[in-house]
Structure 1
Amino acid sequence: MTGMQMVLVILSAAGATVLTRALPFLAFPAGRETPAVVRYLGQALPGAVFALLVVYCLKDVDVLAGAHGIPETIGILIAGGTYLWRRSMLVSILSSTVVYMLLVNLVF
């Protein structure tokens, strides 16, 4: 890659980054009410992302081999329990990940 190509790639990446950061402020300026669809997505997407994360984590689990999916099941229960307790996705995901990694590396 030539020097000019590198500069163009860096500039286009920087421009795309600035555009994606500024676009929400341009589309939804201060002082105007947020559209109902955007408010709905703000409420619905966190749960959908969480469900997608669970499905992705379980896609390669073989219940007929190894630990039979026990660490994964415990991790899911920890995630659900901590979310119901704290109502924080970050705490829920972090705690279940720590428990799962401990189970996989130290117990099973």
Structure 2
Amino acid sequence: MSQNDLYTLSVVAVVAIVTWVLRALPFWVFRAGRPVPRTIAYLGRVLPPAIMGMLIIYCLKAITPTAYPFGLPELIAVAITAGLHLFKRNTMLSIFGGTAAYMVLVQLVFA
């Protein structure tokens, strides 16, 4: 085994160990039977919608409202995604439906 192979193997081992520890840590810190701290419960309630809002803003930041197609494909796809989620409450359906709608709009309707 060469020096380069040993280095690569050690890097993979360290990454695997760190990944395992980081995934196991919440189960160790928040064991069953102990109440979850109020701060953690609050973050668990508030962060998912905040992250989704940030992702929506990030995805829509490149819209040019003064040039064709004026951001219509993006806004229509967002409306379809929100509608699907409100109607069916299925995350995967919302994601795939919104993505498919956006691709159809960009490739066929507003091409």
- Shorter-chain TM-score: what band? 0.7 to 0.9
- Identity percentage of aligned residues: 40
Q: Which residue of 2 aligns with 1:93?
A: 95
Superposition TM-score, scaled by structure 1 size: 0.87
Cα distance in 2 for partners of 1:84, 1:103 equals 21
What amino acid sits opposite 1:20 in the alignment? Answer: L
Which residue of 50, 53, 69 corresponds with 2:52? 50
Shift of 1:88: 4.0
Runs (4 or more) in structure 1 with deviation over 4 Å come to none
1:2 is paired with a residue whose SS is helix
Number of paired residues?
108
For residues 95 and 44 of structure 2, the distance between their equivalents in structure 1, rounded to whole angstroms, comes to: 19
TM-score after normalising by structure 2: 0.85
Q: Which amino acid aligns with 2:23?
A: R
Structure 1, unaligned runs of 5 or more: none
Aligned-pair Cα RMSD in Å? 1.7
Q: Which residue of 1 aligns with 2:80?
A: 78
Where in structure 2 are there 5+ consecutive unaligned residues?
Answer: none
